[in-house]
Amino acid sequence: MTRVFVALGANLGDPLAQIRAAQSALTSLAEPGTLHHSPLYQSRPMGPQDQPPYINGVSSFDCRLAPHRLLDALQDIELAYGRERKDERWGPRTLDLDILLYGDLVLTDERLTLPHYGMKSREFVLYPLADLAPDLVLPCGTALSQLLVTCPANGMTRLPGQ
């Protein structure tokens, strides 16, 4: 069993409802009693700014699926909520689920990079991740708290009631 952290993001349709639905769908992948969700944040889009703001969060859970099987399962959830895979990078989407960490595994292949290749510089990942695991140390030895110092929460706000 491995502790995983998954980033959730959406900015099309009803992003809040889609994030909540995805959080519920993660229950089927998590070992009972291990699923936890960060507060949700609104953030500016990464890339083209002519799109709506994103709703972002992070979920953590213990999982028995191998990394690529987990990736397949997350992509199935994305598709179930209307995700269309396009060539446009960082474009708008109904749902985006990314594996941030899979235990201490370091992996790079044609389908998957672990830890997630961009997580160290993305405030919309780091701040929700810190809400769940403030003392986290990445497999490379860098403390999450160090990354927060160099990555300000520009334009990010915690949603009310979070």
Q: How many domains does the chain divide into?
A: 1
Instruction: Please pick, among 44, 83, 109, 158, the residue that the annotation labels catalytic.
Output: 83
The CATH number given to whatever domain includes residue 75 is 3.30.70.560
Angle at which helix 67-80 crosses helix 15-25, to 10 degrees, equals 140
For tokens 């909520």, the residue is 81
CA angle 12, 55, 113 (to 5 degrees): 95
Instruction: Please pick, among 98, 104, 135, 158, the residue that the annotation labels catalytic.
Output: 98
pLDDT exceeds 90 at position 2: yes
User: How confident is the model at residue 38, as a pLDDT?
Assistant: 98
Instruction: Please pick, among 72, 96, 104, 109, the residue that the annotation labels catalytic.
Output: 96
Rounded to an integer, the average pLDDT of 76-97 is 75
E strands in 53-121 = 54-63, 96-102, 107-108, 113-114
104 is catalytic: no
Global pTM value: 0.93
Asked whether 41 and 132 are in contact (CB, 8 A), the reply is no
Rounded to an integer, the average pLDDT of 85-104 is 80
Instruction: Please pick, among 87, 93, 122, 135, the residue that the annotation labels catalytic.
Output: 93
Q: Tens digit of pLDDT for each residue in 60-70?
A: 999 999 999 99
Q: Tens digit of pLDDT for each residue in 13-53?
A: 899 999 999 999 999 999 999 999 999 999 988 766 678 99
98 is catalytic: yes
69 is catalytic: no
Categorize the per-residue pLDDT at 82 as very low, low, confident or very high, splitting at 50, 70 and 90: confident
Determine which helix (DSSP H) or strand (DSSP E) holds 158, and give its type and residue range. Answer: strand 157-158
Domain membership of residue 29 as a residue range = 2-158
96 is catalytic: yes
